[in-house]
């Protein structure tokens, strides 16, 4: 049936709240040690899906298999506490009445060498010296590391992370994210991160599962879903850009903003161009769609110019911040060469 | 984390105290309830306690008493029905006994015993007997109102001279029984008129007789409608009290109610206690300790009171009075006396 | 008290049959037991016959009594709530001198049984009470009679019940984020406008719950209204027993009281369910308002209040008690009674808290309609006069469980039926405040429902359980009518001793047990109710 290396397998899962189905037929598979992100806008059903895996929601139909064992299937239902699923909550949900050490040992109490295990995982998250503290004496990042240690302690089959970085300061978020990622890697455990933040998903996971409207729309590597989105909706959700009409002829598309390689059959279509797919050149310096820079936003590492084309529409273009094109300059746009995805016009 | 721990400690302490408090107590009670005579007493412990102790010494019968309000205990006995553990009920007034008698809860007593008490102070079904008498009277403070200015009859209480100066206890059983007597004697319409006149005269209302007497002593009011013995009790506590009692004349102006006893089980010990309560010792105790009228035998009064026969109490059947009570209460409600 | 479904976690409780079913069964049984008095009332009211019942219940007298009682409830709320909110604001948000001590002291009038409070009140403020005696040199011969009747009942009940709302409002004020107030002020609003537009709305939940407690207390009070002579519904039910020994009339009238209670509880539930839960934690302690030239006025107000509802009753009781001791009144009996009171009140508190758990857990975590119904049904005994509950238990115990009749067990049962709602509302409130994430985290770590309850839920809601238990303990200590009827023979508690002495009109003898009662009750009130609220880390 399931190969031994498959940690999680979900088939045609439907989870409903009353009349509304939050999860409407989801299939997905996760291999051992794989770190995936379940990415989608709020209300897309991703948290419900995660809670169904953990056993906090009872599906209407479909099945959930963990390491080859059916935990939720027709007539089969395993309580959350018997699934061996580690969970890290948005706010950490550390038990405020227990110390850090007591929190971590909570899931392994009564097992042989429980203390050793607690010390070990606290070491893994590099908080070994804070075991005596109470959760409210820790910073937000430390709290999330304790939450992770607590989830790891019973050696679960998989770790589920429910928006764990959402409550952290922006400055802290990227660092904690990388710490968590490397802890998961060194623990050698499969994990699913639920998030609505594209940047977070893309930088954290090996595999992105894009979920919208209760269904998984696309599964793939971060590069794949970012650059080869399956639909304009998915494309838009992953980042800004412009949906431009084009015509494909023998493996290349042609649009008002330029032409490039694509994988599509000949005929009319639409192509999604991101700001970094475009380059700016001074008016005098070559061919391409002509326009004028009307606004410029500086981000340090790069710069976002707003260009107004001759036909009135505005296009955003991302460049390295070292390129300087003053506002008001006449410019020409060009397309970077890569393989684009062209959507049918229907 | 130490303070929640301490809180739990307190809770634990309470539980331990609880175990200490009720555990042995109940076990003890159950052990003795086999033979003790169970008495429900609507009369207070201070009064009944010494009397029952004396009885225990004389008779070797053990008693166990539940004290409570007369009407609450009567209601309890009615709810207990056939399962009542009570052997005997000591009541503050005849109405409660009448209610139990009406519900068939009381045992018939020996004629010989009953005949020690004038027939008007006992049940016409021979199932309860009065022990002591309490007369309705007017308590007043001579320094603020002279005897000559006191109302001669109940109707006179409605006169403008007393506006705002007198106290009544319209929710108290003794007042209600008094009004029921008035209704039996004079009819429903007369009662309505009387109550309306009293209510219109801005009386001060009190929850009970003792409060009226205190009100008179404290000067809140100048006179009030009460039972006669509260004044004497107040004088015992404070001999400097100058207030006095006054007995109005006319039919129904005064009335002697009976505190009495009814028997609920056929245990001989219960009858033994009734006999004791009607004995000269017990009757003397009533006159000396509560300043009530002795109803059995010929025990002299301990304080200056008109003889029982001279108090203007009509010769009425208490059952008739009890029957009139419901309509009387409605009339009192309608009168607006109870605010 | 709310049965919102927003916090329901279908996952956490409904899943495991054993725990979920046990909870539901225990909750249903508790609700059924709590409704024993209702069955009795029904039996007795039916006995009266439909015609007589309709005559009684739809009479002008009934309407009049109902409106009097409701008028009293409204009046009491109208005074108690502003007092509670003002006091809470003064001690938490201003630089009032001595606010820490005052914060505790302001909650203490809770310890006076209403009959003791009313007796002390009347003896001081009666037309020729102590106050008049103090003013006599100034030529005051008689104080106006406002110590009695509606004004008396209104003032006594308001001044002695506001702590129910005060404690809740203090806790709520602590959790209001001052940022919103600052935002409002930066938008150019005056401080008092800010209070009414941003702070007060956030206190609604606390005010609603407090109002319900105060309203039900007022409806079912007998001690105070009988002493200040204001005829309410409860008093008239007593009077029906008093004169007529008419259980059917009393029961028929009690059905009206039950109906009024249901309306009050439903209203509170409806009002609270429309509130959005306020989740934001305060980012920092609020800046205290400088009272400035208002300081003397505020201090005078607080002291005047506490003089009336704390100092004078205490002084009166101490004065009487001292006289009693001088007259050689035995302390031994009172001490024995104190041990009994502590015992039954302690057991009642523990039982009530234990029973409140399934009811609250089922309604908060289960979220079904039935669960909400069970929770509300458990409130039915709360507004019934103690006498009615006592007679109901006499009726059932003598017929069904004669072995339990007149035992401490049945007495505790009566107390639980009367005061269970106090435990339920505290437990429910703390369960609602507990994010379900804790319980889910514990389950995902391999713990079953029972283990989660034991290791996570109970420790986290412990302050709420203790507060609920403390409240039940306190009200049980003060309870009189059911105690008188149901206690084992000779089982004198403090409140019984107070009654015994007072019924003989000997206040000095009532004073000693009153004093002990008040002092003993003050201990758990301080440790379990007042301190956790006031000493919370801010």
In this predicted structure, the answer to whether residue C137 has a pLDDT above a threshold of 60 is yes
Contact C406 B230 (CB under 8 A): no
Mean pLDDT of B185-195: 93
Q: Distance, in angstroms, between B153 CA and closest chain C CA?
A: 24
Out of A51, A79, A106, whose CB is closest to C448?
A79
- Chains with 3+ CB–CB pairs under 8 A to C are A, B
pLDDT value of residue C300: 93
Q: Which fold has domain C17-49+329-533?
A: MetI-like fold (1.10.3720)
CA distance A88 to A151: 7
Candidates A29, A9, A23, A8; CA nearest to A207 is A29
Identify whether residues A219 and A247 lie together within a single domain.
no
| Structure token digits, residue B328 | 């009387």
Residues of A in contact with C10 (CB under 8 A): 57-58
Residues of C in contact with A150 (CB under 8 A): 441, 445
| Structure token digits, residue C486 | 């149901």
Contact A81 C447 (CB under 8 A): yes
List alpha helices for A12-99, DSSP H: 46-54
- A183: how many CB neighbours lie within 10 A of its CB? 20
Cβ of A93 under 8 Å from any chain C Cβ? yes
Residue A283: CATH number of its domain: 2.40.50.140
CA distance C373 to C375: 5
Instruction: Name the residue with higher pLDDT: B171 or C386.
Output: C386
A14 occurs within a structural domain? yes
pLDDT value of residue C293: 86
**Residue found by looking up tokens 């053990």 in the block:** B62
Q: Distance, in angstroms, between B217 CA and closest chain C CA?
A: 10
CB pairs under 8 A between A and C: 78
CA distance B213 to C230: 20
Identify whether residues A180 and A268 lie together within a single domain.
no
Number of domains in chain A: 2
Cβ of A111 under 8 Å from any chain C Cβ? no
Out of B22, B33, B171, whose CB is closest to C343?
B22
In the CATH scheme, what is the homologous superfamily, with its name and number, of domain C59-107+152-253+268-308? MetI-like (1.10.3720.10)
pLDDT value of residue C244: 60
Contacts for A63 with CB less than 8 Å, ≥ 6 apart: A10, A11, A12, A13, A70, A72, A73, A74, A76
Q: Is B78 left (phi over 0), alpha (psi -120 to 50) or beta?
A: alpha
Least confident among A326-335, B73-82, B247-256: B247-256
CA distances from C302 to B1, C78, C106, C185, C191 (A): 33, 18, 8, 27, 21
Residues of C in contact with A106 (CB under 8 A): 442, 445, 455
Mean pLDDT of B263-271: 92
Out of B7, B14, B45, whose CB is closest to C342?
B14
Q: Distance, in angstroms, between B123 CA and closest chain C CA?
A: 18
Least confident among A136-140, C196-200, C305-309: C196-200
A172 occurs within a structural domain? yes
In this predicted structure, the answer to whether residue B200 has a pLDDT above a threshold of 60 is yes
| Structure token digits, residue B311 | 């108090």
pLDDT value of residue A10: 95
Contact C445 A85 (CB under 8 A): no
Q: Which residues pair with A242 in a beta bridge?
A: A273
Of the CATH numbers 3.30.200.20, 3.40.190.10, 3.10.105.10, 3.90.1150.10, which one belongs to the domain with range B134-255+322-335?
3.40.190.10
In this predicted structure, the answer to whether residue C205 has a pLDDT above a threshold of 70 is yes
Contact B14 C473 (CB under 8 A): yes
Identify whether residues A163 and A231 lie together within a single domain.
yes
Which domain range does residue A305 map to? 240-343
- B289: how many CB neighbours lie within 10 A of its CB? 18
Distance, first Cα to last Cα, chain B: 54
Residues of A in contact with C457 (CB under 8 A): none
Identify whether residues A259 and A316 lie together within a single domain.
yes
Contact C15 A93 (CB under 8 A): no
pLDDT value of residue C245: 67
Low-confidence ranges of chain A (pLDDT < 50): 1-3
Contact C398 B7 (CB under 8 A): no
pLDDT value of residue B32: 41
Identify whether residues A255 and A334 lie together within a single domain.
yes
According to DSSP, residue C492 is labeled: -
CA distance C106 to C98: 12
A184 occurs within a structural domain? yes
In this predicted structure, the answer to whether residue B283 has a pLDDT above a threshold of 60 is yes
**Reduced to 3 states, what is the DSSP secondary structure of residue B109?**
coil
**Residue found by looking up tokens 């499969």 in the block:** A190
Mutate to test the interface with A, among C279, C445, C448, C536 (most CBs of A within 10 A): C445
CA distance B329 to B322: 11
**Reduced to 3 states, what is the DSSP secondary structure of residue A192?**
strand
Mean pLDDT of B299-309: 82
| Structure token digits, residue C431 | 């369960």
- With residue A232 as reference, give the H or E element that holds it: helix A232-238
Q: Distance, in angstroms, between C407 CA and closest chain B CA?
A: 6
Long-range contacts of A342-346 (CB under 8 A, 24+ apart): A342/A246, A342/A248, A342/A253, A342/A262, A342/A263, A342/A264, A342/A269, A342/A270, A342/A271, A343/A231, A343/A232, A343/A243, A343/A269, A343/A270, A343/A271, A343/A272, A344/A269, A344/A270, A345/A245, A345/A268, A345/A269, A345/A270
Mean predicted lDDT score pLDDT of chain C: 83
CA distance B304 to B286: 15
> Do C17-49+329-533 and C59-107+152-253+268-308 fold alike per CATH?
yes
Question: Would you kindly state where each structural domain of chain B is located, as residue ranges?
Answer: 36-133+256-306, 134-255+322-335
pLDDT value of residue A346: 65
Candidates C263, C215, C222; CA nearest to C114 is C222
Instruction: Please give the residue of chain A at the shortest CA–CA distance from C17.
Output: A79
Instruction: Please give the residue of chain A at the shortest CA–CA distance from C455.
Output: A106
Identify whether residues A265 and A205 lie together within a single domain.
no
Q: Distance, in angstroms, between C447 CA and closest chain A CA?
A: 5
Contact A87, A151 (CB under 8 A): yes
According to DSSP, residue A135 is labeled: G
Residue A37: CATH number of its domain: 3.40.50.300
CA distance A56 to C10: 8
CA distance B175 to B154: 12
> Environment class of residue A261 by beta-carbon count within 10 Å: exposed (0-12), middle (13-18) or buried (19+)?
exposed
Identify whether residues A13 and A161 lie together within a single domain.
yes
Contact A58 C442 (CB under 8 A): no
CA distance A264 to A254: 12
At C280, the pLDDT band (50, 70, 90 cuts) reads low
Helix, strand, coil percent content, chain C, rounded in steps of 5? 80, 0, 20
Residues of B in contact with C505 (CB under 8 A): 208, 210-211, 214, 230, 233
**Residue found by looking up tokens 């809470």 in the block:** C88
Residues of B in contact with C408 (CB under 8 A): 22, 25-26
Least confident among B117-131, C2-16, C86-100, C113-127: C2-16
Residues of A in contact with C445 (CB under 8 A): 81, 86, 106-107, 150-151, 153-154
CA distance C278 to C295: 31
| Structure token digits, residue B61 | 């019968």
- With residue A255 as reference, give the H or E element that holds it: strand A252-255
Identify whether residues A253 and A329 lie together within a single domain.
yes
Instruction: Please give the residue of chain A at the shortest CA–CA distance from C13.
Output: A56
In this predicted structure, the answer to whether residue B107 has a pLDDT above a threshold of 80 is yes
Instruction: Please give the residue of chain A at the shortest CA–CA distance from C463.
Output: A97
Contact A197, A42 (CB under 8 A): no
In this predicted structure, the answer to whether residue B215 has a pLDDT above a threshold of 70 is yes
CA distance C343 to C359: 25
Q: Distance, in angstroms, between A206 CA and closest chain C CA?
A: 25
At C104, the pLDDT band (50, 70, 90 cuts) reads confident
Out of C229, C350, C391, whose CB is closest to B207?
C229
Contact B44 C394 (CB under 8 A): no
In this predicted structure, the answer to whether residue B26 has a pLDDT above a threshold of 50 is no
CA distance B108 to B111: 9
- Dihedral of alpha carbons C373, C376, C379, C383, sign: negative
Q: Distance, in angstroms, between C50 CA and closest chain B CA?
A: 19
pLDDT value of residue A269: 92
CA distances from C208 to C172, C192, C336 (A): 12, 21, 39
Identify whether residues A70 and A165 lie together within a single domain.
yes
CA distance A27 to C522: 62
Q: Which residues pair with A208 in a beta bridge?
A: A37, A220
In this predicted structure, the answer to whether residue B27 has a pLDDT above a threshold of 60 is no
Q: Distance, in angstroms, between C445 CA and closest chain A CA?
A: 5
Contact B254, B311 (CB under 8 A): yes
Contact C459, C451 (CB under 8 A): no
- With residue A278 as reference, give the H or E element that holds it: strand A278-282
At C94, the pLDDT band (50, 70, 90 cuts) reads confident
CA distance C240 to C41: 14
Of the CATH numbers 3.40.190.10, 1.10.1740.10, 1.10.1040.10, 3.40.50.150, which one belongs to the domain with range B36-133+256-306?
3.40.190.10
pLDDT value of residue A153: 93
Question: What digits encode the pLDDT tens for the residues C450-463?
Answer: 888 889 889 988 88
| Structure token digits, residue C264 | 């009050």
Identify whether residues A35 and A161 lie together within a single domain.
yes
CA distance C303 to C516: 24
Instruction: Name the residue with higher pLDDT: A346 or B90.
Output: B90
Helices (H) and strands (E) in chain C, counts: 29, 0
Question: Would you kindly state where each structural domain of chain C is located, as residue ranges?
Answer: 17-49+329-533, 59-107+152-253+268-308
- B34: how many CB neighbours lie within 10 A of its CB? 7
Q: Are strands B223-227 and B166-168 parallel, antiparallel or unpaired?
A: parallel
**Reduced to 3 states, what is the DSSP secondary structure of residue C380?**
coil
Q: Distance, in angstroms, between A233 CA and closest chain C CA?
A: 31
Instruction: Name the residue with higher pLDDT: B46 or B244.
Output: B244
Q: What is the DSSP string of A18-61?
A: TTEEEEEEEEEEEETT-EEEEE--TTSSHHHHHHHHHTSS--SE
Helix, strand, coil percent content, chain A, rounded in steps of 5? 25, 40, 35
């Amino acid at each position: 049936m399931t190969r031994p290396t498959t940690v999680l397998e979900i088939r045609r899962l439907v989870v409903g709240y009353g009349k509304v189905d939050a999860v409407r037929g989801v299939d997905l598979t996760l291999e051992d040690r794989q770190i995936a992100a379940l990415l989608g806008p709020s209300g897309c059903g991703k948290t419900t899906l995660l809670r169904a895996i953990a056993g906090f929601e009872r599906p209407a139909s479909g099945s959930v298999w963990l390491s080859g064992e059916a935990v939720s299937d027709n007539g089969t239902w395993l309580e959350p506490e018997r699934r061996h699923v580690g969970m890290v909550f948005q706010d950490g949900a550390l038990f405020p009445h227990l110390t850090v050490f007591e929190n971590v040992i909570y899931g392994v109490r009564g097992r042989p060498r429980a203390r050793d295990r607690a010390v070990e995982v606290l070491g893994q998250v590099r908080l070994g010296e804070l075991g005596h503290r109470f959760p409210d004496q820790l910073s937000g990042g430390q709290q999330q590391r304790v939450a992770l240690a607590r989830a790891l302690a019973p050696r679960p089959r998989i770790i589920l992370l429910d928006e764990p970085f959402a409550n952290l300061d922006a400055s802290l978020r990227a660092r904690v994210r990388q710490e968590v990622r490397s802890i998961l890697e060194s623990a050698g455990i499969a994990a699913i991160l639920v998030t609505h933040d594209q940047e977070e998903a893309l930088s954290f996971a090996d595999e992105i599962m894009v979920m919208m409207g209760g269904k998984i729309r696309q599964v793939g590597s971060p590069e794949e879903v970012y650059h080869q989105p399956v639909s304009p909706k998915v494309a838009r959700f992953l980042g800004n850009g412009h949906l431009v009409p084009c015509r494909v002829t023998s493996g290349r598309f042609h649009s008002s903003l330029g032409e490039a390689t694509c994988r599509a059959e000949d005929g009319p279509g639409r192509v999604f161009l991101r700001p970094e797919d475009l380059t700016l050149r001074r008016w005098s310096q070559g061919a391409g769609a002509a326009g004028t820079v009307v606004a410029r936003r500086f981000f340090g590492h790069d710069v976002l110019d707003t260009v107004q084309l001759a036909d009135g529409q505005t296009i955003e273009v991302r460049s390295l911040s070292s390129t300087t094109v003053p506002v008001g300059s006449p410019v020409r746009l060009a397309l970077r060469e890569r393989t684009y995805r062209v959507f049918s016009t229907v | 984390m130490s303070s929640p721990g301490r809180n739990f400690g307190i809770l634990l302490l309470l539980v331990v105290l609880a175990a200490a408090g009720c555990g042995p107590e109940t076990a003890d009670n159950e052990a003795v309830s086999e033979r003790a005579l169970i008495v429900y007493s609507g009369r207070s412990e201070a009064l009944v306690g010494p009397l029952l102790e004396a009885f225990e010494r004389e008779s070797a019968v053990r008693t166990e008493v539940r004290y409570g309000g007369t009407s609450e205990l009567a209601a309890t006995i009615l709810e207990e029905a056939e399962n009542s553990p009570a052997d005997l009920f000591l009541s503050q007034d005849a109405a409660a006994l009448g209610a139990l008698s009406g519900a068939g809860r009381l045992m018939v007593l020996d004629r010989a015993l009953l005949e020690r008490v004038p027939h008007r102070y006992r049940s016409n079904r021979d199932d309860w007997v009065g022990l002591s008498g309490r007369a309705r009277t007017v308590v007043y403070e001579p320094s603020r109102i002279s005897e000559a200015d006191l109302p001669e009859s109940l109707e006179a209480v409605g006169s403008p001279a007393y506006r705002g100066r007198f106290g009544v206890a319209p929710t108290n059983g003794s007042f209600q029984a008094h009004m029921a007597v008035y209704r039996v004697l004079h009819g429903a319409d007369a009662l309505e008129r009387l109550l309306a006149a009293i209510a219109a005269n801005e009386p001060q209302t009190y929850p009970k007789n003792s409060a009226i007497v205190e009100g008179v002593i404290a000067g809140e009011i100048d006179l009030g409608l009460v039972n006669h013995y509260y004044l004497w009790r107040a004088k015992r506590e404070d001999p400097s009290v100058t207030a006095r009692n006054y007995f109005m004349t006319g039919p129904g102006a005064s009335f002697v109610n009976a505190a009495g006893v009814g028997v609920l089980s056929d245990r001989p010990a219960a009858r033994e206690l009734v006999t004791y309560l009607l004995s000269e010792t017990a009757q003397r105790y009533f006159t000396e300790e509560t300043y009530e009228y002795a109803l059995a035998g010929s025990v002299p009064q301990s304080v200056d009171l008109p003889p029982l026969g001279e108090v203007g109490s009509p010769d009425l059947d208490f059952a008739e009075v009890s029957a009139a009570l419901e309509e009387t209460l409605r009339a009192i409600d309608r009168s607006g006396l109870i605010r | 008290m709310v049965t919102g479904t927003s916090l329901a976690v279908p996952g956490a409780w409904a899943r495991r049959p054993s725990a979920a079913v046990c909870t539901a069964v225990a909750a249903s049984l508790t609700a059924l037991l709590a409704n024993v008095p209702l069955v009795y009332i029904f039996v007795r009211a039916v006995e009266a016959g439909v015609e007589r019942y309709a005559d009684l219940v739809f009479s002008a007298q009934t309407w009049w009594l109902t409106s009097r009682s409701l008028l009293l409830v409204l009046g009491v709320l109208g005074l108690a709530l502003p007092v509670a909110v003002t006091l809470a604001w003064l001690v938490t948000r201003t630089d009032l001198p001595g606010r820490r001590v005052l914060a505790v002291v302001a909650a203490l009038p809770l310890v006076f049984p209403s009959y003791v409070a009313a007796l002390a009140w009347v003896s001081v403020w009666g037309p020729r009470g102590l106050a008049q005696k103090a003013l006599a040199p100034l030529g005051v011969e008689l104080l106006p009679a406002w110590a009695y009747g509606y004004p008396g009942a209104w003032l006594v009940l308001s001044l002695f019940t506001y702590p129910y709302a005060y404690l809740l409002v203090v806790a709520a004020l602590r959790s209001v984020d001052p940022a919103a107030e600052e935002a409002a002020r930066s938008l150019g609003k005056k401080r008092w406008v800010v209070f009414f537009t941003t702070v007060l709305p956030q206190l609604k939940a606390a005010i609603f719950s407090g109002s319900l407690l105060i309203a039900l207390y007022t409806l079912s009070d007998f001690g105070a209204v009988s002493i200040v002579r204001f005829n309410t519904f409860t008093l008239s039910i007593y009077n029906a027993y008093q004169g007529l020994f008419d259980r059917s009339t009393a029961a028929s009238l009690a059905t009206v009281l039950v109906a009024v209670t249901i309306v009050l509880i439903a209203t509170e539930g409806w009002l609270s369910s429309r509130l959005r839960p306020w989740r934001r934690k305060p980012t920092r302690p609020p800046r205290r308002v400088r009272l400035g030239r208002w300081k003397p006025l505020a201090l005078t107000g607080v002291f005047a209040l506490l003089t009336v509802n704390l100092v004078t009753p205490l002084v009166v009781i101490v004065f009487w008690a001292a006289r009693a001791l001088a007259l050689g009144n035995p302390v031994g009996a009172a001490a024995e009674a104190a041990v009994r009171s502590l015992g039954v009140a302690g057991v009642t508190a523990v039982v009530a808290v234990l029973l409140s758990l399934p009811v609250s857990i089922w309604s908060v975590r289960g979220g079904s309609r039935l669960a909400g119904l069970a929770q509300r049904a458990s409130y039915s005994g709360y507004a019934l006069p103690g006498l009615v509950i006592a007679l109901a238990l006499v009726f059932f115990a003598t017929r069904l469980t004669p072995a339990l009749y007149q035992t401490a067990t049945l007495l505790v049962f009566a107390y639980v039926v009367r005061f269970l709602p106090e435990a339920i509302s505290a437990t429910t409130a703390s369960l609602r405040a507990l994010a379900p994430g804790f319980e889910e985290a514990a389950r995902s770590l391999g713990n079953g429902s029972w283990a989660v309850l034991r290791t996570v839920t109970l420790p986290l809601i412990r302050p709420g359980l203790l507060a609920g238990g403390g409240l039940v303990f306190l009200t049980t200590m003060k309870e009189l009518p059911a105690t008188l009827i149901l206690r084992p023979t000779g089982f004198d508690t403090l409140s019984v001793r107070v009654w015994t002495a007072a019924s003989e009109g000997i206040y000095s003898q009532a004073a000693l047990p009153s004093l002990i009662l008040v002092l003993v009750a003050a201990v758990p009130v301080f440790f379990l109710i007042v301190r956790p609220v006031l000493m919370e880390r801010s």
